[in-house]
């Protein structure tokens, strides 16, 4: 049986992914800040190190797939620490444990928000791997939650999508036989979006920004199914892709640019 690690396993897309993999007979080590086999705060270096150590202990030193799903969407500094730095630390920290697998896989969750306006400086600092400077920049952006604060989430997701593009073909990932990919969801019905989509007004406003002509707002299992395939034995050659599971918002917003 394959052993997978899912972060963000306590809720939403991570929870659905864990359940789906378990239904398929896999062993899943769930990680989250609460209600998980591995309780770790991925916004902090200590929590990221604890994740790796606990997974090493629980797995006996070898895992087959990593699904980095944990994330926040608030206009806060913590969103930078969890979404970008926590996700990269999860993948880089657990990568050594993948090397013993006959079919190692790695997937992270970005967002269609990567296509939305972002803060160039924050994206550049994240891309450069300067977490301290990125957190300082986010602190400035967070002071105006309704304007510059809104750029924080999109910036973390754009930086994550770019991180996948920059690393997937390298000796650490493709060179070790590990497909590295991302899923970019549109609007998914989870606790993260619950308040926004609870009212007609909120839902209409959100779907104006994130048009989903194909089947509208999705359930978390829809994203879980795409993640599970990217992390499965079947995926031998899909590499460095940002797979939009977004009801068509990417094609609406970007048209025929590929
Ligand atoms: P969710 O809030 O239901 O789940 C997120 C999980 O991440 C929670 O269980 C939470 O405890 C965990 N988490 C938050 N901070 C953490 C920390 N410091 N350490 C460890 N775990 C932490 O939200 P969701 O919608 O399932 O989101 C999952 C992922 O999907 C996120 O990366 C999110 O950005 C992305 N996403 C969601 C949507 C959407 O519409 N829901 C759209 C695009 C992308």
Q: 25 C-alpha vs ligand 1 centroid, how far in Å?
A: 24
ipTM reported for the complex, 2 dp: 0.99
Q: What is the pLDDT of residues 53-94, one digit of tens each?
A: 999 999 999 999 999 999 999 999 999 999 999 999 999 999
CA distance 86 to 80: 8
pTM of the predicted protein model: 0.98
Ligand 1 and 43: CB distance under 6 A? yes
Catalytic residue, from 67, 84, 153, 163: name it.
153
Ligand 1 and 179: CB distance under 6 A? no
Query: What is the pLDDT tens value at each position of the chain, 258 positions in all?
Result: 999 999 999 999 999 999 999 999 999 999 999 999 999 999 999 999 999 999 999 999 999 999 999 999 999 999 999 999 999 999 999 999 999 999 999 999 999 999 999 999 999 999 999 999 999 999 999 999 999 999 999 999 999 999 999 999 999 999 999 999 999 999 999 999 999 999 999 999 999 999 999 999 999 999 999 999 999 999 999 999 999 999 999 999 999 998
Ligand 1 and 115: CB distance under 6 A? no
Catalytic residue list contains 153: yes
Q: 192 C-alpha vs ligand 1 centroid, how far in Å?
A: 7
Q: 12 C-alpha vs ligand 1 centroid, how far in Å?
A: 7
Q: For helices 87-98 and 45-59, give the axis angle rounded to 10 degrees.
A: 30
> The domain at 3-246 falls in which architecture?
3-Layer(aba) Sandwich (3.40)
Ligand 1 and 82: CB distance under 6 A? yes
Backbone angles phi, psi at 116, to 5 degrees: -90, 165
Sequence-ordered strand ranges (E) for the chain: 3-7, 27-32, 38-39, 65-68, 105-109, 180-185, 242-245
Ligand 1 and 30: CB distance under 6 A? no
């Amino acid at each position: 049986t394959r052993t997978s690690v899912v972060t963000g396993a306590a809720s939403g897309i991570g929870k659905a992914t864990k359940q789906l993999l378990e239904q398929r007979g896999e062993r899943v080590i769930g990680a989250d800040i609460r209600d998980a086999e591995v309780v770790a705060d991925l916004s902090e270096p200590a929590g990221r190190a604890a994740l790796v150590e606990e997974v090493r202990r629980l797995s006996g030193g070898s895992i087959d797939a990593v699904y980095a799903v944990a994330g926040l969407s608030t206009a806060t500094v913590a969103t930078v620490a969890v979404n970008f730095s926590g996700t990269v630390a999860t993948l880089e920290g657990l990568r050594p444990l993948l090397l013993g697998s006959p079919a190692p896989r790695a997937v992270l969750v970005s967002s269609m928000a990567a296509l939305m306006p972002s803060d160039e400086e924050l994206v550049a600092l994240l891309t450069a791997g300067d977490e301290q400077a990125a957190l300082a920049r986010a602190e400035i952006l967070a002071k105006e939650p309704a304007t510059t604060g809104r750029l924080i989430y999109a910036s973390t997701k754009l930086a994550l999508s770019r991180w996948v593009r920059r690393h997937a073909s390298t000796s650490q990932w493709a060179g070790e036989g590990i497909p590295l990919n991302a899923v970019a969801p549109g609007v998914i019905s989870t606790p993260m979006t619950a308040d926004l989509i609870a009212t007609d007004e909120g839902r209409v406003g959100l779907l104006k920004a994130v048009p989903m002509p194909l089947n509208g707002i999705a359930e978390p299992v829809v994203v879980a199914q795409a993640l599970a395939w990217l992390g499965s034995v079947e995926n031998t050659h899909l590499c460095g892709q940002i797979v939009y599971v977004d009801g068509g918002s990417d094609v609406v917003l970007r048209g025929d640019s590929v």
